[in-house]
Amino acid sequence: MDKVWKLVKAHFTDASKIHVNAKDVKTEQLSETSFINTWLQEIEGQLIEFEMKATLFYPLGVAFEVLEGPFIGSKYFVYYVPIQDENNTTKVIAVGDFKSAYVDNDDKLKELVLNNFESVFAEDVTYLQNIQ
């Protein structure tokens, strides 16, 4: 779990190193436990602006609110569950209310959100493998 929280806190300072597909990443620290990240990301050949507020609830997880981008108005919580195994793995669970002005089909929205989580979590894992 300590390594997971190092990753979470690294989003304050190293978001562009963690999420390599994000361009022009800027972070505004609001408090010791919250920040806003803005970035550009290419989707279907277009650069789209994203803005997201994150609030840390150590050691439970992180609350997110999408302020700008295709999922504006979405709110979700990512929480971490330690697994007692030989690798000390951590289960990551995301729950929330997702919205999109661009997608009016719930199944398509779910697919887009899950694909986004897969991509983001894969980048998180890569970063985790390289930190001490």
Q: What is the block-wise mean pLDDT of the chain (132 residues), using blocks of 10 residues?
A: 80 82 89 92 86 92 95 94 83 92 89 89 86 68
Helix then strand then coil, in percent of the chain rounded to 5, is 30, 40, 30
H/E element holding 97? Answer: strand 90-97
CA 63 to chain centre: 10
Q: Which amino acid is at 90?
A: T
Q: Report the pLDDT value the prediction gives residue 58, as an integer from 0 to 100.
A: 87
pTM: 0.86
DSSP conformation class of 117: H
86: phi > 0 → left, psi -120 to 50 → alpha, else beta; which? alpha
Question: Among positive and negative, which fits the CA dihedral 16, 18, 20, 22?
Answer: negative
Strand partners, 48: 41
Q: Report the pLDDT value the prediction gives residue 75, as an integer from 0 to 100.
A: 98
Which residue range(s) make up the domain with 107? 2-130
- CATH number, position 60: 3.30.530.20
How many beta carbons lie within 10 A of that of residue 35, not counting itself? 20
Domain count, the chain: 1
Residue 31 burial class via C-beta count within 10 angstroms: exposed 0-12, middle 13-18, buried 19 and up: exposed
